Amino acid sequence: MGIACAPSALGTAAGADLPAIEVRNITKRFRDDVPPALDDLSIVVPQGVIYGILGPNGAGKTTLLSILCGLLKPTAGTVRLAGHETLSPEVKRMLGVVPQEPAIYPTLTGRENLEYFGRMQGLRGSRLAERIEACLQIAEIGDQADRRVEHYSGGYKRRLNLVIGLIHEPRILILDEPTVAIDPHSRSLIHQRLRELHAAGVTILLTTHYMEEAEQLCHQVAIMSRGRVAVEGDVHALLARHRDDSIQISLDRDPPSNLAQALQGLPSVGDVNLSGRCLTATAPHPLEATLALLQTLGEHGVGVESLDYGHASLERIFLIYTGEDARP
Amino acid sequence: MNGNLSRFLASVLKDTRIIARDRQALILFFVMPVLFVLILSLALRDAFGDRPGATFPVLVIAQAGDRVGDSVEASFRTNPHIQLTRMSRATEAEVRAWLVQGRYKFAVLIPDDATGQAQRRVGEIMAQVPPELRIERQVAVRVLVDPALRSDYRKVLEGVLDLALHEVEMRLAREQLEQTLRITQGKDYAPLPDMEQTRLLAPLPAEPVTKGAVGPTPTSVQQNAPAWTLLAMFFLTVPLSVSFIKERDQGSLFRLQTMTVPAWVVLGGKAVPFFVINLIQMASILAVSVHVLPWLGGDPLELGDAPLALLVTGASASLAAIGFGIAVAMYARTTEQAASFSSATVMIMAALGGILVPKTVMPPLMQDLALLSPLSWGLDAFQDVFVRGGGVRDVAPEVLGLLAFSAVCHGIAILRYQGRL
């Protein structure tokens, strides 16, 4: 089942060169006595890409999404959607939002949910009926359309949650953790639908904890840490950049407290991160750096269980830049 | 059709479907208030209106045939609230024991030969014997009471007794006067007119004063039907506020906020089904009070002559209740918070507003404080129609108060929804 999208202002010549989403120097401070949730953060999401926001819990992902959806106002900085700084009704209509938890009415049927949110998006009559049928097909829940949602499986709820965000054919789709805690079939279906949406020209911004998902789906990612963008860029470029640079060593015991400082002082080693018994580092010349690392480990009485270098993954990049495990 | 109107109707339809599919809630909305009205109107039937209501067991100890005793007995027997027992002889110790046991609330002990003693005393008075030389003293009629008897009831019983004693004094004095005139006037003596004809001041039965022509005497159902209608309406603030919090928890409210849906569409869409439920509640309670209650032995509800005034009162009370519920929902963080806060607040407003305890039995300070409760305004408006024969103009002050309360609550809720409060 392919996904067709209606042309919109975003796709017209006037707006063709504008980024779909442009966040400039955003700061969001909830209280003066705690660090800001977002700290001078900037990202640019070009039109027609799938853009992943990655980051540990508390990194500020939800705050960023709330600002993009117009639910929160930034303390400083600007947000532009398709070149518009103000979230006017026309701009809001370009936006589809898929919250993390299924935002649906459990005692209504799937069809009634779609009908209600469709009407709220301004659809009526035959157009609404067409879109409801299309969404039921996209989600592959047509056989369950007239059952109450409370009787749906978790995967079916997620699929309905997704297509409610598509009912009005948005040009920008924002998804918060769209595949958390669902069965592999539903996850695969959602991935497939997102690729189809991308092929139809929809710009997709999603947050996820699944690094493999981001690697498979996203063209660009931003890894956030403590309200800032730690690293941003094209996924392939990031992987390529870190492919030859990365070294990963599993230690055979807990490291002594002075080890990290000793490792960071090595001239042949770039970024070093020591998390538990997991040591990750980058280096322009991995072989030379590996020898230096092993020597320093030996001097501190720490042995090696396994060693790997030159194999890049978003998981490892995430670890390097945030110092935390990707999964909560 | 206007875009926002279409959204509004969709919102109304959505909430109507959600409510209609919650059977337990529907039972709670409609059956419980009707049951409350039936039970309370029947239970309190005799505490209102012209019915005898509470009766007090009263004991009179007096010699058989004693005229003072007969007069007191006759007076007490005309009062439907008094359940009289007359004995010719009992010791004071026995009477005290019976009061302590609760068999009697009020006991009158008339000494033996009370009539003879009174006649002799009136003879001395008529003969103008100086007080210090009189032989007969006042007849000491003793009264013993149960301390648990409410002071206002005790005063009523003392008043009845005092009136009976005055009456017998008048008769004895008149007899003494007739006897004197018979002796002094001899064959020229003409009997005095009948006592009833000599009354100078004539108290008439109390006449209820109404705003219209003549209104019925208030009954239990006229207190309970509007009171429980209002309480049922205001209790709907609990499911109303909880449903909002649930939507917020489910994320659907978040989704709506990301769309171009105005606050009035979201809030109004939820308000309309609850408004309709309120009106159905009112209609069902009034219908049961008019048609079912008499069949169960209760007094029928007299609706008065102003159905429009009833409708306006019910509608404005409903809007006030809905506004309050929505405002609570906008500030509560959890369903538990919303449910406990709104139910506790409604109960306080009900207690204060004369719903649980009629305002007429409240002390003056509490009656003044009752004016703070919107439920009191609603109850006053209903009573204007039911009891005082009022119309739309008469309920206007209370209705305007309810609408102002509703407007303030809705205003707060909309500003809060928009993040401006």
| Predicted confidence (pLDDT) per residue in A103-112, tens digit | 999 999 999 9
Cα angle: A236, vertex A242, A246; to 5 degrees: 150
Q: Which amino acid is at A74?
A: P
Mean pLDDT along residues B327-349: 92
Specify the 3-state DSSP secondary structure of B108.
strand
Contact in structure between B324 and B284 (CB atoms under 8 Å):
no
Contact in structure between B49 and B217 (CB atoms under 8 Å):
yes
pLDDT for B183 equals 86
Q: A119, B257: Cβ pair inside 8 Å? A: no
pLDDT for B214 equals 42
Given strand A228-234, what is the order of strands in its sheet?
A: A95-98, A172-176, A203-207, A50-54, A220-225, A228-234
Q: B17, A121: Cβ pair inside 8 Å? A: no
CATH number of B56-198: 3.40.190
Q: Which residue of A has its CA nearest to B22?
A: A107
In this structure, the number of other CB atoms found within 10 A of the CB of residue B189 comes to 12
Q: Which residues contact B83 (CB under 8 A, 6 or more apart)?
A: B55, B56, B57, B58
pLDDT tens string A167-182: 999 999 999 988 887 8
CB-nearest to A120 from B10, B18, B247 is B10
Q: What is the dihedral angle through the alpha carbons of A248, A249, A253, A257, rounded to the nearest 10 degrees?
A: -60
pLDDT for A13 equals 37
Q: What is the C-alpha to C-alpha distance for residues B127 and B129, in angstroms, rounded to an integer?
A: 6
CA distances to B96, B108, B148 from B145, in Å: 9, 9, 8
Contact in structure between A99 and B254 (CB atoms under 8 Å):
yes
pLDDT band at B217 (very low <50, low <70, confident <90, very high): low
Token pair of B105 as six digits: 């609330």
Half-sphere exposure of B205 (CA within 13 A, CB side): 2
B249 to chain A, minimum CA–CA distance in Å?
9
CB-nearest to A92 from B10, B14, B260 is B260
Q: What is the C-alpha to C-alpha distance for residues A67 and B417, in angstroms, rounded to an integer?
A: 16
A40 or B220, which is more confident? Answer: A40
Mean pLDDT along residues A273-280: 86
Residues 152-171 of A with CB under 8 A from B: 164
Q: Which residues contact B410 (CB under 8 A, 6 or more apart)?
A: B267, B323, B326, B327
Q: Is the pLDDT of residue A8 over 50?
A: no
pLDDT tens string A52-69: 999 888 888 889 999 998
B383 to chain A, minimum CA–CA distance in Å?
40
Place of tokens 């069902």: B284
pLDDT band at B1 (very low <50, low <70, confident <90, very high): low
Which residue of A97, A98, A119 is the best one to mutate when testing the B interface, meaning the one whose CB has the most B CBs within 10 A? Answer: A119
pLDDT tens string A206-216: 998 888 888 88
Contact in structure between B331 and B242 (CB atoms under 8 Å):
no
pLDDT tens string B280-337: 999 999 999 888 888 888 778 888 888 999 999 999 999 999 999 999 999 998 999 9
Token pair of B35 as six digits: 């049951």
pLDDT for A313 equals 76
CA distances to B145, B154, B160 from B60, in Å: 12, 15, 13
pLDDT for B52 equals 54
Separation of CA B329 from chain center? 33
Q: Which residues of A touch B252 (CB under 8 A)?
A: 103-105
Domains of chain A: 9-234 (3.40.50.300), 245-309 (3.30.70.2470)
B19 or B302, which is more confident? Answer: B19
pLDDT for A113 equals 96
Token pair of B184 as six digits: 């002094």
Handedness of CA B42, B45, B47, B52 (dihedral sign): negative
DSSP B82: E
Mean pLDDT along residues B207-218: 55
pLDDT, mean over chain B: 87
pLDDT band at B10 (very low <50, low <70, confident <90, very high): very high
DSSP B46: G
CB of A92 less than 8 A from some CB of B: yes
Contact in structure between B141 and B165 (CB atoms under 8 Å):
yes
pLDDT band at B209 (very low <50, low <70, confident <90, very high): low
pLDDT, mean over chain A: 86
Q: What is the C-alpha to C-alpha distance for residues A121 and A220, in angstroms, rounded to an integer?
A: 29
DSSP-derived secondary structure for B203-240: PPPP----SSS-PPPP-HHHHHHHHHHHHHHHHTHHHH
Q: Which amino acid is at A316?
A: R
In this structure, the number of other CB atoms found within 10 A of the CB of residue B101 comes to 9
Q: What is the C-alpha to C-alpha distance for residues A132 and A37, in angstroms, rounded to an integer?
A: 38
Q: What is the C-alpha to C-alpha distance for residues B387 and B305, in angstroms, rounded to an integer?
A: 11
Q: How many CB pairs under 8 A join A and B?
A: 69
DSSP-derived secondary structure for A57-90: TTSSHHHHHHHHTTSS--SEEEEEETTBSS--HH
Mean pLDDT along residues B59-75: 92
Q: Which residues of B touch A108 (CB under 8 A)?
A: 14, 17-18
Q: What is the C-alpha to C-alpha distance for residues B26 and A112, in angstroms, rounded to an integer?
A: 21
pLDDT for A12 equals 44
CA distances to B313, B321, B338, B345 from B407, in Å: 15, 11, 20, 19
Specify the 3-state DSSP secondary structure of B57.
strand
Backbone angles phi, psi at B135, to 5 degrees: -90, -45
Q: B6, A70: Cβ pair inside 8 Å? A: no
CB of A39 less than 8 A from some CB of B: no
DSSP B192: P
Q: A122, B7: Cβ pair inside 8 Å? A: yes
Which segment of A40-54, B199-213, B237-251 scores lowest on mean pLDDT?
B199-213
* Alpha helices by DSSP H, A31-171: 61-68, 89-94, 110-120, 125-139, 154-164
CB of B250 less than 8 A from some CB of A: yes
The ranges assigned to domains in chain B are 3-49+219-417, 56-198
A88 or A165, which is more confident? Answer: A165
Q: B260, A122: Cβ pair inside 8 Å? A: yes
pLDDT for B46 equals 67
Please provide the size of chain B in residues: 421
Q: What is the C-alpha to C-alpha distance for residues A314 and A20, in angstroms, rounded to an integer?
A: 24
Separation of CA B49 from chain center? 9
B80 or B241, which is more confident? Answer: B241
Q: Which long-range contacts (CB under 8 A, 24 or more apart) does A252-258 make?
A: A252/A277, A252/A302, A252/A303, A252/A304, A252/A305, A253/A277, A253/A302, A253/A303, A255/A279, A255/A300, A255/A302, A256/A300, A256/A301, A256/A302, A258/A300
pLDDT for B383 equals 87
Q: Is the pLDDT of residue A139 over 60?
A: yes
Separation of CA A222 from chain center? 8
CB-nearest to B7 from A107, A120, A148 is A120
Q: Is the pLDDT of residue B2 over 90?
A: no
Q: Which residues of B touch A99 (CB under 8 A)?
A: 251, 254-255
Mean pLDDT along residues A228-241: 87
Q: What is the C-alpha to C-alpha distance for residues B117 and A208, in angstroms, rounded to an integer?
A: 106
Q: Which residue of B has its CA nearest to A111?
A: B14
Q: What is the C-alpha to C-alpha distance for residues A71 and A75, in angstroms, rounded to an integer?
A: 13
Q: Which residues of A touch B12 (CB under 8 A)?
A: none
CA distances to B71, B157, B175, B375 from B170, in Å: 11, 20, 9, 51
